[in-house]
Amino acid sequence: MPESQATVDGFKRAAAERAVALITDGMTVGLGSGTTAEFALAALATRIAGGLRMSGVPTSERTAGLARQHGIPLMPFDGRPIDVAIDGADEIERDTLNLIKGGGGSLVREKLIARASRRFIVIADERKLVDRLGVHGPLPVALLPFTRQLVLRELAALGAPGTIRQADGRDVVTDDGLIIADCICGAITDARVLATRIAAIPGVVDSGLLLGLVAEAIVAGRTGVRVLSPGK
């Protein structure tokens, strides 16, 4: 039987709180986007109210706005190393901890901040764990609007046909002025090859494949909170 929304929210909160407990005074913290990452913002706000000093680097304008509402101090992304980044994911591959991200459309900034972080922690409820990436949902690919037809043709030729994400009959446009192709891949057998081929398409800015970046996955479910490392 599927879990109720309240139960799933409880799992997300538990994973987020476990990750935020790892933040110590003076750290810079990458702030993810999405409903799970928003529980981490609330947990950080509680710790800041208790005296924690930290600076957040947001992965989206929405996260920046919410962080300001929570009183979380922010700093711009300047390419320098970030101590810890905490973010959600759409799919987490069980053995590798490779990810699909971008369900919320922030994948370009999310990947940049994950790459810049010394320790990238992904937080999720256990429904996000999969044996192979690509089985649950589409793979988001961010592209320049001008190149949509070319990119869609090339994605289809790679066996990853996509449709441009829309809301209320209009293209969804990201914080960086990009549009998103949601691609149906099926189970991805070689994520590295697919990521390289997609990145080589002119007009593609990035895909939602995050490979070899996760230090640990904090996953919550009926049996409690588990901390997973890649390869375990």
Residue ranges in contact with ligand 5RP by CB under 6 A: 32-37, 87-90, 101-107, 110
Q: How far is the CB of 157 from ligand 5RP (least distance, A)?
A: 26
Question: What is the C-alpha separation between 90 and 228, in angstroms, rounded?
Answer: 16
**In angstroms, rounded to a whole number, what is the distance separating the alpha carbons of residues 209 and 173?**
19
- How is 154-173 classified by DSSP, letter by letter? HHHHTT--EEE-EETTEE--
Q: Residue 25 CB, nearest distance to ligand 5RP (Å)?
A: 26
CB of 128 to ligand 5RP, least distance (A): 7
Q: Which of 38, 110, 154, 216 is catalytic?
A: 110
The CB-of-220 to ligand 5RP minimum distance in angstroms stands at 12
Half-sphere exposure of 166 (CA within 13 A, CB side): 6
Catalytic, 3? Answer no
Instruction: Output Rg (C-alpha) for the chain, integer angstroms.
Output: 17
Our CB check for ligand 5RP shows the closer of 104 and 162 to be: 104
Q: Write phi, then psi, for 43 (nearest 5 degrees).
A: -65, -35
d(CA 153, CA 151): 5
Phi, psi angles (nearest 5°) of residue 53:
-110, 125
Nearer to ligand 5RP, 37 or 66 (CB): 37
Q: Which lies closer to ligand 5RP via its Cβ, residue 88 or residue 154?
A: 88
Closer to ligand 5RP by Cβ: residue 139 or 152: 139
Q: So which residues are the catalytic ones?
A: 110
